[in-house]
A and B are shown apart, each in its own frame.
Chain A
């Protein structure tokens, strides 16, 4: 398994990386952890002229908390996030980070790479919808901050401009009364999820104040199921509300038949995972510790 020849450039700073990308132009691709890009190159599904390796740029792998603001550097690996104090107190992050692929992938793969890949099977883009995350980007025209909502525009296509890279992810730490869960259904560790659902609920006095429901591996992009959220918001949770939310999540999804299963099968899974994630999120919102892991078959 050998990629086609390409030129390799290692950037030591974000500015240098942007400069390299601008100079090379089309044909250049950014590599962070390489866990999405390298398999594609090795299978020769993509042949590019240049790789700009941003993986060793210092200071992009930090998790910082400022008040209730959280910022995760784009180069933070899944393993680092899973092991962080942040994930210890925001369990939906642990659900996601600890269940991505296998330990080798988690040790190399980064949150920024996962978001930038625009791959609907990646876990982070779906999950970040539940936290209303912002994507911090930097390009030749300076920095800008984009909403995760709409960031992935189409299959493998994001809102990033040419020569623009992701530098970090920002979101507000869920407050008291807020709980979330991310549930993926997978065949085995090296496989992408068949489908996944992330839910974050803020519950006050038994009523859902705000809800976020996001679906991964359920269409061409990660999908925020807003109708499902609407079914939950302002309600106290019962089987009826949860069932309607699950139905709405299914309605928002757009799965296809593939080797992971038929679209009908995936719809049934989405309904199930939505209910499961809501259940766990609710318990967590009430302060209960709930261990959650992805389902394997």
Chain B
């Protein structure tokens, strides 16, 4: 009997669908205060003074925090980047200057949330407005500098060069040049906003109930920021309503709640973000511009070299950045066998919301770039889109990329075949030919993408050689409880991924019991869960990193159980087998009725240990396992090394007709094929694919953060930002293949992020529909008004050129 691979109903759902989940904002405690954060209406301004007198005198206000408190009590958050990032001063409140609209300038704790907001409105901030810079290329001119101590907006720059690029261009039969491409700014908008309840106790400890999704990391940044030793900070989570990476960095706001509690003599303080605050000042996704791209191809259309200049816009602060300047290199050649690259990569700050990891973080942008390159070359050289992919796909695995990453397994041609079958490729090709005769704009687009999971933190050293991070790890503790039940605690908590279910399936298989007999503790508590500095739910890694820890812990527990049972049953360890008998889960001597059940094993160790033999002193039936993927530190000079352990793939095909009247891209058919190796729980995997597809379609067609030239965000409500709803999601034809990973014990690959496949696919379909109209799709956002603009100003002449020899 194997539970892994079955669509076991999610254990979490019972409480969640009944409304019995516990989210940070659900916490209600007598006497708790509520925090309101006053935010800058300006994108760039000097703070000349703050008058809090009226707010402080309002009845029910417990305290007001301003930059003055912060200067006294905080140190700037540690910067991950080298010079000039290390000069950037990032604090929980702006002290002298604000650098994006929505940046916190003061905070009020009061008896009710409404009162706190009322008081906040009474705070008078004297701003001296400064010119803002929102365009990344203008920002790089440094005429307006955000962080004066850093002296420049250019926060990171390096060249990634592999192979012999110049020779590839010398030998090329065709060179395709693409002047400019742009990947737009959007975010993942989890259904639950950021929230926490903080208490600064009289003992000087800080306790958080929060929804941070990477506590192992957050505590390392929070503690020095608050001038506390790490062990003074306890952070707990229970249920988290989606994170997609955005909640990694909400420690910035957690600090404010803690400081308010401290100022209010340790009263608990709740902070709960509104949707507009979330859209304005939580964490956007990276915006990237690709300039002067040149693609070398041989006479058959095989791409032999790419050189390009990439500018990443990380918003006002380098919070998780400049890590994104390296993380894209996990998927340098995308799914293609290109060997020669020169990517000149620059990151700049601008007067916009800081970016933080968002589903598909940094790789999605690069994969979109690569997909556009392949797709534009196909259209320009007249090669059918499917053939172009087949000419260029990586086919042999494991495959070492030019920068030393190892693609573990895969079969992209088979995924293409499967997706074509699902969508009815041949039939659509015929319909397309007919539609074109009628002058209709119908396009069929392919998007192939990767979801690289279980990252090697050593890549951070490519960004900054002095960073003390490398490898990866996750932790699991498993024990037999007094009543014989199996209790598992993890080094991280989920934010919707179904950790409790997947973990139960693995444990059930390993111990040969029913998943219902396994209890996986919900949520996370830094005081009780053991965890590592890598522990967290991010970067598509639970199925491999997390479950490898669970699997390893099971092996250690089984060793102890066998030792114990062998002694108690006076049998050879090799003759024992795990199973479920009349008295529940047990270890039995094969072919006999001699058995010891889990309860008795636990009883012997915990309550009845006079029965134990002396050589079993180390048996505790409470074991901890740390899984460490076999990573080596990369060569930071050459920017070479294996940056991720597994590479899940997705291949989507979309058929889109653009309504000539409304310019609305109408999805007529959509297929999504997933390959995440061996699947732990097919229903959860399918759910992730559907979720990622919805996110990507939303980004491609609806969702965009638009700023005006003064740094004013124009899409700060859901009515303007327009997140995708069921009204806008087509039926998705879903399929999957399984290429087990040779690098994970279970053959699984992390797959939660999805690689932004719909962005690539929809761009390709629109390209296919509009190429004959003289349009090169060089942007990632395709709302109807955008398409209208595009068809009224064909750009092909300006954007692309082909030299053939």
Residues of A within 8 A of B (CB): 1-2, 4-5, 43-44, 185, 187-192, 194, 259-262, 264-265, 268-269, 271-272, 295-297
> Within the complex, what minimum Cβ distance (angstroms) separates B263 from chain A?
22
Is B785 a contact of A265 with CB atoms below 8 Å? yes
Report B239-279 residues with CB < 8 Å from chain A CB. Answer: 274-276
* Contact with A4, one of B121, B275, B724 (Cβ below 8 angstroms): B121
Q: What are the residues of chain B within 8 A of A271 when measuring CB–CB?
A: 661
Is A190 a contact of B785 with CB atoms below 8 Å? no
Q: What are the residues of chain A within 8 A of B664 when measuring CB–CB?
A: 185, 295, 297
Is B663 a contact of A265 with CB atoms below 8 Å? yes
A245 vs B298: C-alpha distance in the bound complex, in angstroms?
55
> Within the complex, what minimum Cβ distance (angstroms) separates B58 from chain A?
11
Would you mind naming 6 contact pairs between A and B with Cβ atoms under 8 Å apart? A191-B719, A259-B715, A262-B788, A262-B789, A264-B788, A265-B788
Q: What are the residues of chain A within 8 A of B275 when measuring CB–CB?
A: 1
A271 vs B661: C-alpha distance in the bound complex, in angstroms?
9
Q: What are the residues of chain A within 8 A of B724 when measuring CB–CB?
A: 188
Is B665 a contact of A297 with CB atoms below 8 Å? yes
B714 to chain A: closest residue by CB: A259
A187 to chain B: closest residue by CB: B722
Q: Does B592 contact A (CB under 8 A)?
A: no
Q: Does B292 contact A (CB under 8 A)?
A: no
Q: Does B386 contact A (CB under 8 A)?
A: no
Q: Does B580 contact A (CB under 8 A)?
A: no
Q: A2-B117, A188-B725 are in contact. Are A259 and B784 (CB under 8 A)?
A: no
Q: What are the residues of chain A within 8 A of B561 when measuring CB–CB?
A: none
Q: What are the residues of chain A within 8 A of B444 when measuring CB–CB?
A: none
B785 to chain A: closest residue by CB: A261
Q: What are the residues of chain B within 8 A of A260 when measuring CB–CB?
A: 785
Closest 10 A/B residue pairs (Cβ): A261-B785, A272-B661, A2-B114, A297-B664, A265-B788, A265-B785, A297-B784, A187-B722, A2-B117, A1-B274
> Within the complex, what minimum Cβ distance (angstroms) separates A41 from chain B?
12
Residues of B within 8 A of A (CB): 113-114, 117-118, 121, 274-276, 661-666, 701-702, 706, 714-715, 717-720, 722-725, 727-728, 783-785, 788-789, 792
Is A262 a contact of B785 with CB atoms below 8 Å? yes
Q: What are the residues of chain B within 8 A of A1 when measuring CB–CB?
A: 274-276
Q: A4-B121, A188-B725, A269-B661 are in contact. List 8 more A-B contacts (CB 8 A).
A: A2-B114, A5-B114, A43-B717, A188-B702, A259-B720, A265-B789, A268-B663, A297-B728
Query: Which one of B274, B665, B784 has the highest number of Cβ atoms from chain A below 10 Å of its Cβ?
Result: B784
A265 vs B662: C-alpha distance in the bound complex, in angstroms?
8
A64 vs B681: C-alpha distance in the bound complex, in angstroms?
56
Is A268 a contact of B788 with CB atoms below 8 Å? yes
Is B718 a contact of A190 with CB atoms below 8 Å? yes
Q: A4-B121, A297-B664 are in contact. Are A189 and B725 (CB under 8 A)?
A: yes
Is A189 a contact of B118 with CB atoms below 8 Å? no
Q: What are the residues of chain A within 8 A of B662 when measuring CB–CB?
A: 185, 268-269, 272, 295, 297
Query: Which one of B715, B722, B789 has the highest number of Cβ atoms from chain A below 10 Å of its Cβ?
Result: B722
* Contact with A297, one of B113, B118, B701, B725 (Cβ below 8 angstroms): B701
Q: What are the residues of chain A within 8 A of B728 when measuring CB–CB?
A: 188, 296-297
A272 vs B662: C-alpha distance in the bound complex, in angstroms?
7
> Within the complex, what minimum Cβ distance (angstroms) separates B537 from chain A?
29
Q: What are the residues of chain A within 8 A of B113 when measuring CB–CB?
A: 2
A297 to chain B: closest residue by CB: B664
A257 to chain B: closest residue by CB: B785
A1 vs B274: C-alpha distance in the bound complex, in angstroms?
6
Q: A268-B788, A272-B662, A297-B665 are in contact. Are A192 and B701 (CB under 8 A)?
A: no
A4 vs B723: C-alpha distance in the bound complex, in angstroms?
28
> Within the complex, what minimum Cβ distance (angstroms) separates A37 from chain B?
15
A271 vs B788: C-alpha distance in the bound complex, in angstroms?
14
Q: What are the residues of chain A within 8 A of B792 when measuring CB–CB?
A: 264
> Within the complex, what minimum Cβ distance (angstroms) separates A189 from chain B?
5
Q: What are the residues of chain A within 8 A of B702 when measuring CB–CB?
A: 187-188, 297
> Within the complex, what minimum Cβ distance (angstroms) separates A226 from chain B?
24
A8 vs B609: C-alpha distance in the bound complex, in angstroms?
70
